[in-house]
Amino acid sequence: MNFFESQDKARHNTTQLLGLFALAISFTIAGLYLAVAITIAQGSTTIGLWHPEVFFWVTVGTLLLVGSGSLWKYLALKQGGGAQVALSLGGSEVFAEMATDEQLVFVNVVEEMAIASGVPVPRIFVLADEDGINAFAAGFTTNDAAVAVTQGCLEQLDRDELQGVIAHEFSHILNGDMNLNLKLIGILQGILLIHLAGRLLMRMSRPRYRSRNSKGNPVLVLGFAMFAVGGIGWLCSRAIKAAVSRQREFLADASAVQFTRNPRGIASALQKIAGYSQGSSVLAPQAEAASHLFFGSAVASFGGRAFASHPPLNERIRRLGGVVQFRDSTPQEVLAGAASVGASRLASGFVGSTSTQRPPEPANESDARMAVEDIAERIGIADEKGIAQVRSLLQKLPPGLRSQLHSLAGAKGCVYALLLNDDWDVRDRQLSKLKETEPQEVMTAVVEVGALLRDLDPRLCLPVMDLAVPALRRMEKDNCQLFANNVHQLVMADGEVSLSEFALMAVLRSRLTVALGGELNPAVKYESVSDVLGDCLTLVAALAKAGHESEGDRVYAFQAGVDRLVRSGDVTVSEQVRDGDRLPLFTTQSLDAGLENLRRLAPRGKQAVVEACARTVLLDGRVTVEESELLRAFVLSLDCPLPPFLNVR
């Protein structure tokens, strides 16, 4: 499955999850009603078991209790996303400027994987009190994701093994598993609440002294019924988690090999868990509720494989090509056959190449179409070539730049420096505006970071800005809004917004969705491209303008993109648009509005939009810096992670 198919599958899984939830609630209502009806019928031969009014109130009470519990948990998670889960499990956030050597390796691996796969660098946590080898990724979208590892993971794994584990977690980020997993926590909390409420009623109604009056205590009976039925619901929740999670773990293992082309890394990590005294256990009280998030089994499996949230270790290792051996086995002995494991097909073409040479023009329309398909297939995919390229980039950054980007002042200074105008009069106005709202520390960073960025390859502006995003996310909402206003003023200092400036602002706005109070993971509103055709045409027109100098070439590229949209499905375009000799008019405001609407398009529709945009850009076989940045900005704004480094001229 490609990224868009995975997103559709995640939507389908969510529907299935809601169906299982409804079934579990139905059984819970039936069990509670039966317990109440039997209590009422005790001691009477004339009273039956069917009482409509009792059934009504049992149903209402159960729905209120379960619904309020699930809603409370969901809203609590919604406030903090993946960070909320990490903190509830005893995690501490890791900042690069204060990290230990072990933590810094972890930070570097996460940054490399994030930039190579086109997602924002997630917040990074360590569960310092956990000696087991484990990790998880959590969040509703890539923009509020967090990645966490246990202290045992840092201490017991080498860099290749850690990279395999993190690649596994990034698969969950890219395949849409995180959103489903957090919904699962919220939904199952409501079922568990029945069990907890029953325990509370039993304690409250327990008599202090034994007496005849304590027999048949209806509150005690109700509490026991809720406790017992809730316990069955808890077992159902374990079964639901097992059904949802196990197959996704196999997929994530395979994706980790695809990402890194190194089956030894993840297989050896699994082998170490198998032979380690602490295994992958997590002792935090909240580990049970979050057990399906983890890389390995975090809690003991009650009821055997039927209720296990993860497949057996030996099966996971076998599928990766390894042989299960336990203590004192070296990775070479354990994974003798792992080197022969074939990774999944990786997309080739214009993305992921380190060459700066101009790519050859497509020999015919079929070749150009293949390049477009390569772009669409690369959405949500990281590979070892891209990871190595990002690692090389980070190593070649000017000394001191990376440490600057890890501080808030340096991160803000980086964004401001990227927006400074080449015209010195305009630049003076920009700096004067900044001084009105920013402290001296930030102004100094603008100068220092600007000097470091002076000779930076223009293709690297967006990847470097991605390194600044984690620090920018630390801002409170009001400060983040002030920062966004400053960015807007810098852009408007010369009275116009270039497409490159628009691209940078669009990416920044997407990355800071949470900090700016924007809507995460908006619900699908449009199923077909035809519902948002005007917005699609606006994006295609902007890309056609960005990459071509003559009006004739722009119109030709625009028409190629429109043809791609028409081929995608039920889209009808007027002859005036398809055969016209001028581009449709658009503004940066219409681009903003169009991107916001297209975020609510179904995944398959987004794929058609991405392919149309890619067709417009790749028609002539060459990609300019401006085209590359604008294409990535559009795709990222649609919540589709596109890796960097398209070939440019």
Instruction: Judge contact between 430 and 490, C-beta under 8 A.
Output: yes
Token digits of residue 202: 């039993």
- Contact by Cβ (8 Å): 193, 66: yes
Whether the Cβ atoms of residue 354 and residue 457 lie closer than 8 Å to each other: no
CA gap 384, 352 in Å, rounded: 9
Is the Cβ–Cβ distance between 271 and 182 less than 8 Å? Answer: no
Radius of gyration of the chain (CA): 28
Q: Is the dihedral of CA 101, 107, 110, 115 positive or negative?
A: negative
DSSP, res 359: P
Retrieve residue 253's tokens: 């293992």
Residue 72 burial by CB count (10 A; 0-12/13-18/19+): exposed, middle or buried? middle
- Residues in a beta bridge with 124: 147
E-strand ranges in 70-134 read 92-93, 123-127
CB count within 10 Å of CB 507 equals 23
Percentages helix, strand, coil for the chain (3-state, rounded to 5) are 65, 5, 30
106 phi/psi in degrees, rounded to 5: -60, -45
CA distance readout (Å), 431 to 381, 441, 453? 39, 14, 17
Report how far residue 556's alpha carbon sits from residue 564's, in angstroms, rounded to the nearest whole number: 13
Largest CA distance in the chain: 97
Residue 624 to residue 350: CA distance in whole angstroms: 12
For residue 521, give both structure tokens: 């993971």
Phi, psi of 150 (to 5 degrees): -80, 160
Signed CA dihedral, 305, 139, 132, 112: sign only: positive
Whether 169 is catalytic: yes
Q: How far apart are the first and last CA of the chain?
A: 32
| Closest C-alpha among 187, 161, 223, 167 to residue 15 | 187
294 forms bridges with which residues in the sheet?
136
The sign of the CA dihedral 396, 399, 404, 406 is: positive
Q: Which of 169, 288, 377, 626 is catalytic?
A: 169
C-beta of residue 455 within 8 angstroms of C-beta of residue 449: no
Task: Assess contact for 552 and 582: CB atoms under 8 A.
Answer: no
Amino acid (1-letter code) at residue 158: D
Q: Is 405 helix (H, G, I), strand (E, B) or coil?
A: helix
Active site residues: 169
